[in-house]
Amino acid sequence: MSDPGAHAVPSASNGWPIAVRDIENARARLSVHLRATPGWEYPALNELVGSGIRVIVKHENHQPTNSFKVRNGLAAVSALSRAQRGRGVVAASRGNYGLGLAYAGAVFGTTVTVCVPRGNNPDKNAGMRSLGAEVLEHGADYDEAATLADRLARERSLTLVHATNNRDVLAGAGTLALELLEQTTGLDAMIVAIGGGSVAVGAMAVFRSLRPTTRVYGVQAAGAATTYQSWRSGKPVPSGPPQTFADGIATRGPYAMTYDARGIVKSCGSGRMIRRRPSDLDCLLVPPAPRQRTARRRARAAGGAPRSAGASAARPSRAARTPS
C-alpha cells in the first residue's frame, strides 16, 4: 500500500510557494484529526471598533493545543513519508508550533525534538513534553535555538520541519483562511499577527484565488518589526534580539519562503495606511505603549483597516481576526 502521507511537492504558481489546491489537500489530511474552529462575533468588540464594522473572531484557541499552529504541525508531519516519520523530526519553536508538532508526533507515532530558547515559557515546555516531545533549551531567542535544530537534523539524521520555510506548513496555515471563507459571507478583511508569516501567506493564497476583494492585514510589534523594516528597505533585513513580550511573533528576520510570497510587503506606521493590489499584504506597526492603551490602539487599527479596503457604506463591513 502506498504511503498516504507521501505526495508530490506542492504545486506553487506565479512565484507563490503554495496554491489553493495545496491548501485543500492539507485540509483533507487535517480533517481526520481536527474539527473546524468557530468564528464568533462579540457586540462589545464591535462597539469598541465602531464605524459599523463587524468583527469575527476565529477561535483557534479551541484547537487541541490552543493555537492554530497545530494545523501547521499536522500538515507537515502528515505529508512525510513513513521513512521520514520513522527517523523523527526536529524544529525550533517558542512553544505554539512545538506544541502542534508534538501533537502531530503523538498522532503519527513520530519522535519529535523541539529546540527552544533558554528561559522559554515553562507551561509551553511542559505541554510539549506531555505530548512526548524532547524539549532542548539553547540560545537566547528563537533564532539561536534554530541553530541547534539545524545541527541535530544533521547529527541525528532527523527531518528538519521549519516553522515557516516549509510548503506543507504554509498549506496547513492556509486552511484557517479557507475555513473562515466558508464560514462567512461578505468578508472584507482578515487581520493576523505576523511572526514568520505562515498565516498571512496562507490567507493571501486563499483570497487571491477565491475572493480577491478580501484584504489581509498583518500586525507586527514595533520591537519585532522585521517585515516592516524589510519592506522599507526593499530587501530582507535581519534585526537584533526582538524586544516584545509577544514571544510567538518574536523573530529576528523574515524568512525566504514567506518574504518572497509577500512580494513588495506594504506596511503602515504612525497611523498611515499604504494600499496596493488586493493580493498584497498591509502591515500595521504597533508601537510600544501601556497595555490598556495598546489594546485600544490595536482595536482602532483593526477597525480602520476594512474601511480603507473599500467596504461599501450600504452594509456593515466584516473583518476577521485570529487570537495570537
**211 confidence band (pLDDT: 50, 70, 90):** very high
pLDDT at residue 33, as a whole number: 97
* pLDDT tens track for 76-93: 999 999 999 999 999 999
Q: What mean pLDDT comes out for the span 150-155?
A: 98
Q: In sequence order, what DSSP letters do the residues of 39-93 get, joined into one string?
A: EEE-HHHHHHH-TT-EEEEE-GGGSTTSSTHHHHHHHHHHTS-HHHHHH-EEEE-
Domains and CATH numbers, the chain: 39-62+167-321 (3.40.50.1100), 69-160 (3.40.50.1100)
> Residue 246 CB: number of other CB atoms within 10 A?
17
pLDDT exceeding 70 applies to what percent of the chain?
Answer: 65
> Residue 272 CB: number of other CB atoms within 10 A?
8
pLDDT at residue 217, as a whole number: 84
Question: What gap in Å lies between CA 226 and CA 13, rounded to an integer?
Answer: 26
pLDDT at residue 95, as a whole number: 93
Q: What mean pLDDT comes out for the span 129-153?
A: 96
pLDDT at residue 41, as a whole number: 95
**149 confidence band (pLDDT: 50, 70, 90):** very high
Give me the phi and psi of 222, to 5 degrees please.
Answer: -60, -25
Mean pLDDT, all residues of the chain: 78
pLDDT at 276 over 90: no
pTM for this model (two decimals): 0.78
Max Cα–Cα distance, the chain, nearest Å:
61
pLDDT at residue 21, as a whole number: 96
DSSP code, position 224: G
**219 confidence band (pLDDT: 50, 70, 90):** confident
Which residue in the block uniquely carries the three cell numbers 532527523? 158
pLDDT at residue 195, as a whole number: 78
Give the lowest-confidence range in 86-100, 230-244, 300-314: 300-314
Q: In sequence order, what DSSP letters do the residues of 156-216 get, joined into one string?
A: HTPEE--SSS-HHHHHHHHHHHHHHHHH-SS--EEEEE-SS-HHHHHHHHHHHHH-TT-EE
Higher-confidence residue: 196 or 133?
Answer: 133
Higher-confidence residue: 60 or 225?
Answer: 60
pLDDT at residue 231, as a whole number: 65
Q: What mean pLDDT comes out for the span 126-131?
A: 98
pLDDT at residue 43, as a whole number: 95
